Amino acid sequence: MNQLIVKLLFAAAAATSAASAHAQMIIVSSNVKASEISKSDLKDIFSGAASTAGSTHVTPILLKAGPVNDEFLSSYIGKSDLAFRTGWRSLVFTGQATMPRSFESDEAAVDYVAHNPGIIAYVSKTAPHDGVKVITVK
Amino acid sequence: MKRLLTGAFAVLFAAAVPGFAQTVDDLNIQIHGFATQGFLYTTNNNILTTNSSDGSPNWFEGVVNISAQPTPKLRVAVQGRFESFGNATNQISLDYANADYKVNDFLGVRFGKVKSPSGLFNEMQDIDPSYMWSLLPQSVYPIGSRNSVLSHFGGVVYGRVRLGKHLGKLEYRGWAGQRVLNSGDGYFVPQVEKGLILPNGFSVPVSGAALRWKTPLTGLTLGISDYRQQHGNALLQYPAFGLSGHETIEALTSPNFFGKYERGRWMLAAERSRVPATVTIALTGVPNSNIFFDLRSWYAMATYKVTDKFTVGAYNSQAFDRRLPPGPAHYQKDWDVSGRYDFNQFIYVKAEQHFLDGTVLSYDTNLNLGGLKPTSKLTILKVGVSF
């Protein structure tokens, strides 16, 4: 009985750990010098409040609505997709920003980052990512 | 000033856009817009510019925005608006037309016709999809005269500074230029209804600065802004009596103090402002007429996200004109409860109930010829689409 309880506890802990691990990675163009970024800076960049990673000017791009997008916004920005896009529209209509480009798939986002300088994006952790740099979030 | 800015803007736009071997996709040309339709009903008095005591659906605005980003640091954008609001109908206006060059996070500059970044909500007060209310607190953001503070021809310098690991970040804005109002602007409606016309509109130099401290306490922003308007003078005509002269507004400063706290599903905000003004109407052969007001205003608001799509909120907004004798005509107190439902990222509806006490704001004398009752309830329904 005790062994069963211990096994159940281990299983629950493993499940919790898997759920809390982020299912996406942050990628940047190869010219971006930074190799890591703080969660606060990442939030500022994807909210339109900042545009520098390390010392490089960066432009964020987005994925269209989906699990990877929703989890990124929930984990790093603290907003739903609806609130996030409303926030960007507010910046657009007040003349403070241009809406980030949105891509249909990980592949399209990775391809855009690989072929354009100064881009930052999030894609699924399992997505192939040749030609781009993965940075860690502190 | 307008010509200089228009020329500079045109040169920059011309240099940035077609001269480069860029595709349309490279320029990241985007078109966005929104439209709203509102309905107002009041139990007493006709509010703003509408016949609301009969129920008025005459509140429509449509906005179209076109922007391009030829390089990562350079943006150009133009936004136009069509607005029909009660007896202020069919007004087409330019919200802004500007170029923005952001050197880095510390320094950016925007010039052309630009939004004036004062207070907590000034830049977005005419952007309905941005907030949950149908009417922002009228004590600080009166919709009838919002054009007089929304934008100016000139520039804005902006940026943000890290204050250190434990001190947060400081955002700054500094702006200067010329504010140009036409005779039909909401600010001048009371005198236009009395037959006093400003044939050339009113143009006056303005400047200001704002600081927003993103404090180390996550979600808490504290700020201060100060708006300065220089002495202004404009040609005035009184056609009914064949008179002409000048209207003068003395130099004024208008400070705002504000704070906002966002945590989880909650947003709390408060703001205080003061607008003191001295206006002189001088018509040839007639004694000068002086108008003084000193409006002290504040509000406190709270919103709560019930679900991702449904938000509720309430605010209390109060304004007092210190120059008027005590009584309902010298103040307005407004309790508001509101709800907003977003069907998706394109369509939303809003419902709002106001409990108004006092008449110093929001009323057009010509629409209330029988006199104003001191209290009223106002119901607003609104539907909006944006893309």
Residue of A43, A55, A93, A98 to mutate, testing the B interface (most B Cβ within 10 Å of its Cβ):
A93
Q: Which of B32, B102, B127 has the CB atom closest to A99's CB atom?
A: B32
pLDDT band with cut points at 50, 70 and 90 for residue A15: very low
Using an 8 Å CB-CB cutoff, list chain B residues near A94. Answer: 115, 123-124, 127, 130
Using an 8 Å CB-CB cutoff, list chain A residues near B105. Answer: 50-52
ipTM: 0.88
Among B34-38, B194-198, B345-349, whose mean pLDDT is lowest? B194-198
Q: In angstroms, what CA-CA distances link B137 with B58, B329, B332, B366?
A: 21, 18, 11, 23
What pLDDT score was predicted for residue B181? 86
Cβ atoms of A48 and A97 closer than 8 Å: yes
Residue B307 contacts A where some CB pair is shorter than 8 Å: no
Q: How many CA atoms lie within 13 A of B183 on its CB side?
A: 16
Q: Which of A50, A59, A95 has the CB atom closest to B105's CB atom?
A: A50
pLDDT tens digit sequence for B59-81: 999 999 999 999 999 999 999 99
Residue A14 in this model has a pLDDT that exceeds 50: no
Among A31-45, A105-119, B135-149, whose mean pLDDT is lowest? B135-149
What pLDDT score was predicted for residue A17? 41
pLDDT band with cut points at 50, 70 and 90 for residue B375: very high
What pLDDT score was predicted for residue A19? 40
Q: Do B308 and A80 touch (CB under 8 A)?
A: yes
What pLDDT score was predicted for residue B89? 65
Q: In angstroms, what CA-CA distances link A93 with B34, B160, B386?
A: 9, 21, 10
Residue B160 in this model has a pLDDT that exceeds 70: yes
Q: What is the pTM of this model?
A: 0.87
Burial-class residue B219 by CB neighbours within 10 Å (0-12, 13-18, 19+).
middle
Cβ atoms of B110 and B74 closer than 8 Å: no
Residue of B28, B172, B341 to mutate, testing the A interface (most A Cβ within 10 Å of its Cβ):
B28
Which is more confidently placed, A9 or B311?
B311
* Nearest chain B CA: its distance from A2 CA (Å): 40
Helix (H, G, I), strand (E, B) or coil at A23: coil
Q: Which of residues 116-145 of B touch A (CB under 8 A)?
A: 123-124, 127, 129-130
Please, what is the average pLDDT of chain B? 90
Q: Which of A51, A82, A86 has the CB atom closest to B102's CB atom?
A: A51
What pLDDT score was predicted for residue B78? 97
Which is more confidently placed, B328 or A23?
B328
pLDDT tens digit sequence for A78-125: 999 999 999 999 999 999 999 999 999 999 999 999 999 999 999 999
Q: Do B30 and A81 touch (CB under 8 A)?
A: no
Burial-class residue B53 by CB neighbours within 10 Å (0-12, 13-18, 19+).
middle
Cβ atoms of A85 and A91 closer than 8 Å: no
Inter-chain CB pairs, A–B, below 8 Å: 78
As a whole-number percent, the residues of chain B with pLDDT over 70 amount to 93
Residue B5 in this model has a pLDDT that exceeds 70: no
> What is the pLDDT averaged over residues B115-131?
95
Please, what is the average pLDDT of chain A? 86
Using an 8 Å CB-CB cutoff, list chain B residues near A49. Answer: 160, 171
pLDDT band with cut points at 50, 70 and 90 for residue A6: low
Residue B105 contacts A where some CB pair is shorter than 8 Å: yes
What pLDDT score was predicted for residue B18? 44
3-state SS track over B12-41: HHHHHCCCCCCCHHHHCCEEEEEEEEEEEE
Using an 8 Å CB-CB cutoff, list chain A residues near B30. Answer: 92, 98-99
Smallest CA–CA distance from B150 into chain A, residue: A94
Q: Which of A57, A80, A90 has the CB atom closest to B127's CB atom?
A: A90
Cβ atoms of A77 and B218 closer than 8 Å: no
Smallest CA–CA distance from A82 into chain B, residue: B345
Among A51-65, A122-136, B142-156, B261-275, whose mean pLDDT is lowest? B142-156
Among B178-182, B203-207, B341-345, whose mean pLDDT is lowest? B178-182
Q: Do B30 and A89 touch (CB under 8 A)?
A: no
Residues across chain A: 138
Residue A57 in this model has a pLDDT that exceeds 50: yes
Residue B385 contacts A where some CB pair is shorter than 8 Å: no
